[in-house]
Amino acid sequence: MDIQRLLLEFFSNPNAQWVLLGVLSISVSAGMVGTFAYLRKQSLVGDALSHAILPGIAIAFMLTHTKQTWVLLLGATVAGALALASIDYIVQQTKLKSDTAISVVLSVFFGLGTFLLTKIQQDGRGEQSGLDKFLLGRVASLVWEDVLVLGLMSLFLMVLLWWYYPLLRLWTFDMNYAQSVGFKLQKMRFLFSFMMILSVSIGIQAVGVILMSALLITPAASARYWTNNLRNMLFIAGFFGAIAGFFGAIISFSYPKTPTGASMVMVLAVIAMISVFFGKK
């Protein structure tokens, strides 16, 4: 199949259009939020969150018996908040370091989520089919209602980034000065945690819990090779995320058995390699 014919079929397919809009909104916002996670050396937190929200999705389904996107996102958000609170509690109340606490929370929450998904699948009810797709993403099954919810959430994240950009920049690079001039660091920490949780919660729709950290961190890490300016880095990370979303959707459309999320991550890997070898030093 030649490229022109492939693109014509892709853009004339209604389902492919919804998939493209969904992955673009998800990947752009994830890349931009991930920029601050990368700069604050909190890449592992994104990985822990992506695994920890799985039981939230399962419990939300068990309580409501619906797979509506906003319901599952609510469950994922609550589970993500509990995971972050657990990490903070372990670090503050024990002698364990943050990386150990993250590993403990990641494994426990992910194990619980896998157990609950298994129980749901064994329940024999017809409506539970497809929940296991959250492990590697379920973007191919998106409909316009899902895309609307994901698009609004992604837009909300980018508005938060724009509105609080000066404070986030100061909090990221000079926390001591921010505190000395009266900024409430706890408030900024809560805001950033909320943005991370929301970004991961909507991102798993595209790449699943296993690969979400790649969508969050790889665009930012790649963008860092091309600029020393934070504002430019945000836009470049969002642009790299968009490229991954576009070509990931194209690849998945061309080879229907290929997961869209895995295709996006492979595109991001290529972008990262190009950035490492050809980006500015």
Quick one: residue 35, left, alpha or beta (phi over 0 = left, psi -120 to 50 = alpha)? alpha
pLDDT at 125: 56
Give the global pTM.
Answer: 0.86
Per-residue pLDDT of the chain (281 residues; tens, 9 = 90+): 577 787 787 777 777 788 888 888 889 999 999 999 999 888 778 878 888 888 888 888 888 887 777 888 888 889 989 988 888 888 888 888 888 888 888 889 989 988 888 888 777 654 555 666 676 666 767 777 778 888 888 999 999 999 999 888 988 888 777 777 777 777 888 888 889 888 888 887 777 777 788 889 999 999 999 999 999 999 999 999 999 989 988 888 888 777 888 888 899 999 999 999 988 76
Rg (Cα) of the chain, in Å, rounded? Answer: 19
Give the pLDDT score at 130: 61
Q: Which domains does the chain have, with CATH numbers?
A: 3-278 (1.10.3470.10)
Can you give the pLDDT at residue 99? 81
pLDDT given at position 270: 95
pLDDT of residue 136: 67
Q: Quick one: pLDDT at residue 243?
A: 94
pLDDT of residue 281: 60
CB-based burial label for 14 (10 Å; 0-12, 13-18, 19+): exposed
* 181-221 tens-digit pLDDT: 777 777 888 888 889 888 888 887 777 777 788 889 999 99
What is residue 129's predicted lDDT score, i.e. its pLDDT?
55
